[in-house]
Chains A and B, each alone.
Chain A
Amino acid sequence: MSESRTDWPLWEVFVRGRRGLSHTHAGSLHAPDATMALRNARDLYTRRGEGVSLWVVPSTQITASSPDEKDPFFEPAADKPYRHPTFYEVPEGVQNL
């Protein structure tokens, strides 16, 4: 019996603003379990009609990339301009490309 444990774990809240959009991180909150976390998220993060769907994830379950890995993780992606459509030259007058 955890009579003395009165602090609830932290949950991260993700809100889908409307259909067609992906869920976006909105913030966090405390709840004793997933069911209550969803309800608290509904009351806290969508009380002005900001969402149509919610995810809650225990904060401890999130694995984040380390800021020290910043360079090896993300810099290589910055020098591949050929992944972007603006890299390519299109002759004037050609449409629908």
Chain B
Amino acid sequence: MSGARPGNPGHHAALALGDDALILAQRLGEWSGHAPELEEEVALANIALDLLGQARALLSLCGDEDELAFRREERAFRNVQLVERPNGDFAHTIARQLYFSTWQELLYGRLAGGTGPIAALAAKAVKECAYHRDHAEQWTLRLGDGTEESHRRMQAALDALWRYTGELWQPVEGLDVDWDALESAWRAGVTGVVTRATLGVPEGPQSSPWAAGAGRQGVHTEPFGRLLAEMQHLHRSHPGASW
């Protein structure tokens, strides 16, 4: 797997992006059977499946996908903390998706223009990201400009997750991207949607004092340990087994 051997920058980047996609897919999968309407069951599962597909392709650049997904300890995961945040209510899930997919679409769009295995994956995935971003955008508009209750919930969700967005601009080793320009584009995109949704762009800090960029360094939030425990339990209970 050229350009993605452990220790080299390509490996680091594929692992970070692969972990983002894997963990968000895991969270979205938790919606199965709980969505607010049947049509939305199908939509959320589609997004989860896209992300899981991305994760498998990216992790396979780094080694055995299952070995990486099921046998690493918490500290070895490189995903941003945003994607591990619990689903919360539907508004929280949508806010998380809006923040993440807006970023992912912009990033993958830039990566697609490069060369190497990640560029090829990004070129395919960017269309999926655009759809996810649009799904989140449509729902942000409807929840923001819907009822009083939905407006309140959507604003609360945007506010609560805002402090996990700063990490998106932490440069990822091995990705040749203008991170400042990415941040401006992201901010413009999110501000546009949030404003159209009659909501306010949160004003608080985009990271907590000690945890900025910590996900990329392997420091995660409390709920992540339980997510991994659940995800990895069966696989780890049968060492060496094939499934």
Q: B37 and A39: CB pair below 8 A?
A: no
> When chains A and B are docked, how far (Å) is the Cα of A43 from the Cα of B43?
6
Inter-chain CA distance A81–B39, complex, in Å, is: 46
Contacts of A35 in B (CB 8 A): 138
Question: How distant is A56 from chain B, measured CB to nearest CB, in Å?
Answer: 12
The answer to whether A39 and B43 touch (CB under 8 A), given A8-B37, A30-B37, A32-B142, is yes
Docked complex Cα distance between A8 and B40 (Å): 12
In the complex, what distance in Å separates the CA atom of A31 from the CA atom of B43? 12
B188 is an interface residue with CB less than 8 A from chain A: no
Interface size on B, residues (CB 8 A): 13
A39 CA to B138 CA, complexed, in Å = 10
B37 — which chain A residues lie within 8 A by C-beta?
A: 8, 30
Query: Is B110 part of the contact surface with A, judged by Cβ < 8 Å?
Result: no
User: Is A89 part of the binding interface, using a Cβ–Cβ cutoff of 8 Å?
Assistant: no
Q: Which residues of B contact A29 (CB under 8 A)?
A: 39
Residue in chain B with minimal CB distance to A40: B39
Complex contact A31–B147 (CB within 8 A): no
- Tell whether, in the assembled complex, residue B147 and residue A47 are in contact, meaning their CB atoms are under 8 Å apart: no
Q: How far is the CA of A44 from the CA of B39 in the complex (A)?
A: 7
From A3, A30, A32, B147 is in contact (CB under 8 Å) with A3
Q: Could you say which residues of chain B place their CB within 8 Å of the CB of A39?
A: 43, 134-135, 138
- Tell me which of B39, B43, B46 has the highest count of chain A C-beta atoms within 10 A of its own C-beta: B39
How many angstroms from the CA of A39 to the CA of B133 in the assembled complex? Answer: 12
Interchain CA distance A10-B238 in the complex, whole Å: 48
With both chains docked as a complex, state the minimum distance between the C-beta of B66 and any C-beta of chain A, in angstroms: 25
B42 within 8 A of A: yes
Question: Is B148 positioned at the interface, with any CB of A under 8 Å from its CB?
Answer: yes
Query: A52 within 8 Å of B by Cβ?
Result: no
Q: In the bound complex, how far is the Cα of B134 from the Cα of A36, in angstroms?
A: 11
Alpha-carbon separation in the docked complex, A47 to B149 (Å): 33
Contacts known (A1-B147, A1-B148, A3-B147); A43 close to B138, Cβ less than 8 A: no
Chain B's closest residue to A31 (CB) is B39
In the complex, per-residue mask of A38-81: 1 if CB is within 8 Å of any chain B CB, else 0: 01100110010000000000000000000000000000000000
Q: Which of A1, A2, A8, A43 contacts B42 (CB 8 A)?
A: A43
A57 CA / B46 CA spacing, docked (Å): 23
Given known A-B contacts A1-B147, A3-B147, A31-B39, A36 and B138 have beta carbons under 8 A apart:
yes
Residues of A within 8 A of B39 (CB): 29-31, 36, 40, 43-44
A44–B135 CB distance below 8 A: no
CB neighbours of A44 from chain B (8 A):
39, 42
B150–chain A nearest beta-carbon distance, Å: 10
Known contacts: A8-B37, A32-B142. The answer to whether A47 contacts B42 by CB under 8 A is: yes
CB within 8 Å of A: which residues of B?
37-39, 42-43, 46, 134-135, 138, 142, 147-149
Residue numbers of A with Cβ under 8 A of B are: 1-3, 8, 29-32, 35-36, 39-40, 43-44, 47
